[in-house]
Homo-oligomer: A and B are copies of this chain.
Amino acid sequence: MVTIKQIAQEVGISSSTVSIVLGGKAAERKISTATQEKIFAAAARLGYQPNMAARSLRGGSGANELVVAMFWAQDFRASMMFRFWDGLRAEIEKTARPVRLVIYPYVNDHLKESEALTSGANCHAAIICNASYADLQFLEDTQLPIPVVLYNRVCNGYCSVNVDDLKMGALAARAFADQGCRTAAVLTSSPVFEGMENRMHGFRLEGEQHGLTILANRYCENSIRGGYEAVSHRLRHEWKQQLPDAVFCGSSAIAHGALRAFCEAGYIDEKLPRLIAVGNGPEESDAFSIPSLSVVYLPMEDMARECIQLVLGQLDGRIATAESRLLPIEYVPRESCGPLTEYAAQ
């Protein structure tokens, strides 16, 4: 790393002059044009880049600023980042304290390689989202230098914010049963964390309890296209003779693709199977699709709020032990599946 000192040596001049020139104050300090040119030339030649840490330290700016890292897996879930990020931002805005939120995209199973997390030299605390099984294992085995909050994951010794995943699935099953469905299919990506398995498990358990026959599952990609292709394919094969009465989708995106595929094949209005998704996309997209999408709503913004509070609580020392928060979820009936009736209460 090239420093101002090295440029000074190179040019044969003091480092303060270099600082003045590179800081754009050459005119007011009346540095000779010759010197300026030599300095700029050397800086360019050596590829000088100012060290931001030194600048901030010296300038005192951001000294009492809290830096919070948000780790988000950089894969198909990337597009779901916004709702969560915006939730964090909104909550931070309400805080008196100045907080800088920094996104750290990471690759699943490689969380351990993130220096920001392990060195403690970049941020005061971290919120980790989308951790894989391996990432959780790493966390459990490691004593990190900064407080951490897990989003949508459970891990020994860590604060976390979750929803009742079993119940998410159960709510969908109950709604289907209430609407008189007898057979149901599941459309989901291969599970990358326990919560997903639990959602599907809860769906199965509760469904069977209400006489719902649940068809064998086959995984699809977690995207609109993934849902579309999965349904298109099934319509030509397993579902050629007989459609299921209901379809439970692992994400809003999958559900929107499914809607489109059903529509293309002529299954609209009464002929469309009942559809419920885990509502993890933007609410408006679900509320204004054709038909609008019934969801078990994932309260991401509320979860983000809790994450911030857990982070601040730990930094303040108000929260000393691993504390887990479980947020309530609810079924939001729209056109793609009617409301809970008989099984509404619990």
A: which residues have CB within 8 A of B? 1, 23-24, 44, 47, 49-57, 59, 61-67, 74, 78-79, 81-82, 85-86, 89, 100-103, 105, 115, 119-124, 143, 145, 223-225, 228, 253, 256-257, 259-260, 263, 282, 284-285, 287-290, 292, 315-317
Contact pick for A290, options B100, B225, B263, CB 8 Å: B263
Contacts of A284 on B, CB cut-off 8 Å? 223-225, 253, 257
**A53 B53 Cβ-Cβ under 8 A:** yes
Contacts of A119 on B, CB cut-off 8 Å? 59, 61
Contact pick for A67, options B52, B145, B287, CB 8 Å: B52
CA gap between A259 and B291 in the complex, in Å: 11
* A122-B285 contact in complex given A44-B317, A78-B86, A317-B44, C-beta closer than 8 Å: no
Q: A53-B62, A256-B288, A289-B289 are in contact. List 17 more A-B contacts (CB 8 A).
A: A1-B63, A52-B65, A52-B67, A56-B122, A57-B57, A61-B121, A74-B89, A78-B82, A78-B86, A82-B82, A85-B103, A103-B103, A223-B284, A225-B284, A253-B284, A259-B290, A290-B290
A157 CB to closest chain B CB, in angstroms? 15
Contacts of A259 on B, CB cut-off 8 Å? 290
* A282-B62 contact in complex given A54-B57, A290-B260, C-beta closer than 8 Å: no
**A53 B57 Cβ-Cβ under 8 A:** yes
Contacts of A124 on B, CB cut-off 8 Å? 49-50, 52
**B53 A63 Cβ-Cβ under 8 A:** yes
Contacts of A285 on B, CB cut-off 8 Å? 224, 256, 285
22 A-B pairs with C-beta separation under 8 A: A44-B317, A49-B64, A51-B57, A52-B62, A52-B67, A53-B53, A53-B63, A55-B120, A56-B121, A61-B122, A78-B86, A79-B86, A89-B105, A103-B103, A224-B285, A224-B288, A228-B288, A253-B284, A256-B285, A260-B288, A260-B290, A289-B290
**Closest chain B residue to A119, Cβ basis:** B61
**Closest chain B residue to A259, Cβ basis:** B290
**Closest chain B residue to A224, Cβ basis:** B284
Contact pick for A1, options B64, B121, B292, CB 8 Å: B64
A340 CB to closest chain B CB, in angstroms? 24
A318 CB to closest chain B CB, in angstroms? 10
A36 CB to closest chain B CB, in angstroms? 14
Contact pick for A52, options B122, B223, B315, CB 8 Å: B122
Contact pick for A55, options B62, B89, B115, B121, CB 8 Å: B121
